[in-house]
Amino acid sequence: MPEMGGPLPPLFWSFPAAQEIAEVLEWRTDVLTSRASEQRIALRPRPREIVTFRHRLDALGMARATEMARVGFAGDWQVPLWHMALQPNADLAQGVTEILLDTGVADFRSGELAALAVDGREAAAVAIASVQADRLILAEPLVLQLPGPVVAAQRVTVAPIRASALTSAIEVTRRRQGDGTVTASFLLRDAPDITAPVLPTYLGRPVQTDPSLVRRPLTASLRRAVEYVDNGFGPVVAEPLRDVFERSETITLKAQGRIARHALRRWLWSLRGRQASFWLPTWGRDLQLRAAMTSGSTLVRVAPVASLPAYVGRAILLEMPTALRFRTITAATAEGADHRLTLSSNLGEKVPLMTKAHFLTPMRADADRVEIQHGAVASEVTLPLIEVPA
């Protein structure tokens, strides 16, 4: 028992999540703009993580949640991360000290705890002695955590546990006397240092090259910072405030399966809010070839889409049969009704006439707060982006 007036031990929030889980990542970035560029200063190298769980509970479960909140609302909590839950790769038997699973796609930590739930019931906490790539080594054998001598892997769910604190009131919505929903939001402590995913790079920036991640059509807004001068007597005059054209987009990314979900979180983590930039293809077939190219040629003839000076310095992506290729347009001239563009280097192979070519735009996130919705099948996030100076 804790000493009178002393801190309570962390309470274990063992209820299973029955509905969609919301995960919020929050960074802090100062963006200092000038007329022709911007400087981004990271004030929070690792994000604050806030997870919101919704639990479908009976009368006893709602009563227990209420009493736990009454006793330890302002204290420390141990919370299972159900959006990272995995099923073991082998059945569990009483007395085992190992759980076989892919630990690389969840935040399991040596010396910490894991939550083990059977048949979707309340979880039991087990201590982790060490974490290996394909298994968890437990500090003590499994006995009381299992309802029988052997439990099939399909019945078991294992999730990492993190220390946390409540961020808002616990909400109880009671449908009937014995059926209700409990909603709780937790601020997780000790954010992990997640490595960035391996993406192709061009001119020092990673390229987001997976068009299948985009679930909905891109919505774009095109603008330039201007000040409208109106003296009330003459015409309205637009005075540019910056020399930078701003293209903003909103993309929706969807990941299905534990590996894809983890890859999505790694990519969002690598953006660090508004700090990091990357290349985003328009995927709009902006450049339509008028003729095929030989393997050693750097000249490409396209249908006109811009003024000749506007091409120079633009990066493009070509969907070659063998791989995606990135090049920069270094010159542009008119050739009859078409435009002839000079690329920074040849492609090293023939370019068929029907090759899809898209502009590459340097982008960054336009928000330090990212919210991921984790469903039973897939995870989804809507992310605002803005163009940055190349």
Q: Residue 275: name the closest of 369, 365, 197, 360 by CA.
A: 365
Is residue 335 situated within a structural domain?
Answer: yes
Q: What is the pLDDT of residues 155-208, one digit of tens each?
A: 999 999 999 999 999 999 998 888 999 999 999 999 998 888 889 999 999 999
The answer on 98 and 45 residing in a single domain is yes
The answer on 171 and 22 residing in a single domain is yes
Is residue 178 situated within a structural domain?
Answer: yes
Q: How confident is the model at residue 218 (pLDDT cuts 50, 70, 90)?
A: low
The answer on 126 and 21 residing in a single domain is yes
Tokens of 142: 């499994």
Q: What is the rounded average pLDDT of the residues 286-307?
A: 94
pLDDT at position 211 over 70: no
> Which of 139, 154, 188 marks a domain boundary?
188
Per DSSP bridges, beta strands 48-57 and 21-26 are antiparallel
The answer on 19 and 152 residing in a single domain is yes
Residue-averaged pLDDT of the chain: 90
Is residue 5 situated within a structural domain?
Answer: no
The parent domain of residue 107 ranges over 11-188
pLDDT at 1: 44
The answer on 359 and 310 residing in a single domain is yes
pLDDT at position 227 over 60: yes
The answer on 208 and 178 residing in a single domain is no
Amino acid at 91: D
Is residue 64 situated within a structural domain?
Answer: yes
Q: What is the rounded average pLDDT of the residues 372-388?
A: 91
> How far apart are the C-alpha atoms of 196 and 198, rounded to whole Å?
7
Q: How confident is the model at residue 238 (pLDDT cuts 50, 70, 90)?
A: confident
pLDDT at 223: 73
Q: How confident is the model at residue 217 (pLDDT cuts 50, 70, 90)?
A: low
Q: Containing H/E element for 65?
A: helix 59-72
> How far apart are the C-alpha atoms of 126 and 138, rounded to whole Å?
7
The answer on 374 and 276 residing in a single domain is yes
pLDDT at position 47 over 90: yes
Residue 273 and residue 28 in contact, taking contact as beta carbons nearer than 8 Å: yes
Tokens of 110: 């040596």
pLDDT at 240: 78
Q: What is the rounded average pLDDT of the residues 312-338?
A: 95
The answer on 251 and 167 residing in a single domain is no
Is residue 350 situated within a structural domain?
Answer: yes
pLDDT at position 241 over 90: no
Q: What is the pLDDT of residues 48-69, one digit of tens each?
A: 999 999 999 999 999 999 999 9
Which residues have CB under 8 Å from 336's CB, separation 6+? none
Is residue 6 situated within a structural domain?
Answer: no
- CA–chain centroid gap for 363, Å, is 15
> Which of 134, 163, 188 marks a domain boundary?
188
Is residue 1 situated within a structural domain?
Answer: no
Q: What is the rounded average pLDDT of the residues 24-34?
A: 93
Which residues have CB under 8 Å from 90's CB, separation 6+? 100, 153
Q: How confident is the model at residue 2 (pLDDT cuts 50, 70, 90)?
A: very low
Is residue 331 situated within a structural domain?
Answer: yes
Q: Which of 235-239, 240-244, 253-257 has the highest mean pLDDT?
A: 253-257
Q: Give percent of the chain above pLDDT 90.
A: 74
Tokens of 39: 């400087």
Number of structural domains the chain divides into? 2
pLDDT at position 243 over 80: no
> Which of 145, 166, 188 marks a domain boundary?
188
